[in-house]
Amino acid sequence: MMHTHYDNLKISRTAPQEVIRAAYRALAQKFHPDRNAGDAEAERVIRVLNQSYEVLRDPIKRVAHDAWIAQQESMTAVPPAVATPSVQRPPPPPPAPAPRPYQASRVPRPALPAQRPLILRIVAHVFNYWFIYLALGIWIWWANTDHSLPATPSIAPKLASSPPPKARYVRPVQAPNGYSFPRTDGYVDGYPLLFSGGMSSLTVDNSQNDSDVFVKLVNLDVAAPTPVRHFFIRAGSQFRASEVVAGNFDVRYRDLNSGALSRSDAFVLTETTTYEGTRYSDMTMTLYKVRNGNMKTHGLDESEF
C-alpha cells in the first residue's frame, strides 16, 4: 500500500501551509525526545516527521511529491476498458473427410489463439503512456505557436521607471492569527503553548522601551525552528514565560510602532537533577533598544518571523 508524507502528518493532500505547520508541531511535541527519553520508536517517528515536514513546507518539493503520488496511482489503477472479454467455447469442428492417398502425410496445423481486439490493445497502450502523449502534444502546440513579439514603432526611448515605493507600515490591531492583542502583558489568544511542562522560565524585559512588542519564543531543536510561545509586552513593561522545557531557543520580536523585526542570539534553558533537587534556568533577557541590554540582536526577514 502506498504511503505518503501527507499520511505521516495525518493531513489531507489539499491541506494549506497553516494546517501542515500545526500538524507537524503537534506531532513533534508528542514524540519529542525530551518527552520520550530512550524510546527508539519515538526517535524514528520524529525523524520521519521531520522528513515529511521538510518536503511539504517546500512548494517545489511538495509539487514533486504530488506528481509522484499521481504516477503511482496511475500505475496501480486497472482501466476498465482493457478487461479481458469473456470467451465462449467454439463449437467442435466437423469431422475431417477421409484423406486422399496423396494427403495422408499432411498434418493439420493447430488453430492460433485469438488475440485481443486491436482497439483494446491501443486503448491499453495509450492509458499506460498517457503522460508521454500529453508532453508530446504540448510540445507540438508550442512549436507551432508564434512566439515572436509584435513590432511596435518607437518614437523615443522610454526612461526607466522607478520601482514602486514600499507599502507604508501600519500598526496592526491583531496578531497574524486574527486574534486581538491583549490589553495587558500576556499570551496572545489562539496560539498553543508548546514544549510546556518544564521547570525553566524566561523573562523578556521591555521596561525601558518606548514601543509595544509582539514576541515569539522559538525552539531550535526541531528540523524547522518552531515558535512555542507568543506573547505581547507593552512599552515599559516585562513578561515571564514559565514552565518551558529544557532546550535551545531564541527570541524573535516585532516593534509594533515601526514594524522592525529582530532576533536574539541562541541560548539554552537547562534542567539538571542533583542530590539536592532539580536546578533549572530562570533567565531574564532585555530587548535591543534598552540601554546596556544584555541581548545582542540581529535583523530578521519577514519569512523567518
Model confidence at 227: pLDDT above 70 = yes
List, in order, residues 6 or more apart from 68 with CB less than 8 Å away: none
Could you tell me where in the chain the CATH 2.60.40.10 domains are found? 186-304
Could you tell me where in the chain the CATH 1.10.287.110 domains are found? 5-76
Closest CA to 52 of 19, 5, 2: 5
* Exposure on the CB side of residue 174, measured as CA atoms within 13 A: 6
Confidence at residue 37, expressed as pLDDT on a 0 to 100 scale: 85
2-49 pLDDT, tens digit per residue, is 889 999 999 999 999 999 999 999 999 999 888 888 899 989 999 999
Confidence at residue 102, expressed as pLDDT on a 0 to 100 scale: 41
List, in order, residues 6 or more apart from 102 with CB less than 8 Å away: none
Average pLDDT over the chain, rounded to whole?
A: 82
Do 201 and 281 meet the contact criterion of CB atoms below 8 Å apart? yes
Do 82 and 127 meet the contact criterion of CB atoms below 8 Å apart? yes
Average pLDDT over residues 264-277: 91
Question: Helix (H, G, I), strand (E, B), or coil: what is residue 97?
Answer: coil
Confidence at residue 259, expressed as pLDDT on a 0 to 100 scale: 92
Q: Which neighbouring-strand residues pair with 269?
A: 247
Model confidence at 85: pLDDT above 80 = no
Confidence at residue 135, expressed as pLDDT on a 0 to 100 scale: 84
Burial of 210 (0-12, 13-18, 19+ CB in 10 A): exposed
pLDDT band of residue 245 (cuts 50, 70, 90) is very high
Confidence at residue 260, expressed as pLDDT on a 0 to 100 scale: 92
- Model pTM above 0.85: no
Confidence at residue 64, expressed as pLDDT on a 0 to 100 scale: 92
* Alpha carbon distance 297, 213 (integer Å): 14
Residue tagged 504511503 (cell numbers): 3
102-141 pLDDT, tens digit per residue, is 444 444 554 444 456 777 777 777 777 777 878 888 888 8
Please state which architecture CATH assigns to domain 186-304: Sandwich (2.60)
Confidence at residue 46, expressed as pLDDT on a 0 to 100 scale: 92
Number of H helices, E strands in the chain: 6, 12
* Alpha carbon distance 122, 118 (integer Å): 6
* Alpha carbon distance 171, 161 (integer Å): 30
* Alpha carbon distance 218, 224 (integer Å): 10
CATH class of 5-76: mainly alpha
Residue tagged 502546440 (cell numbers): 141
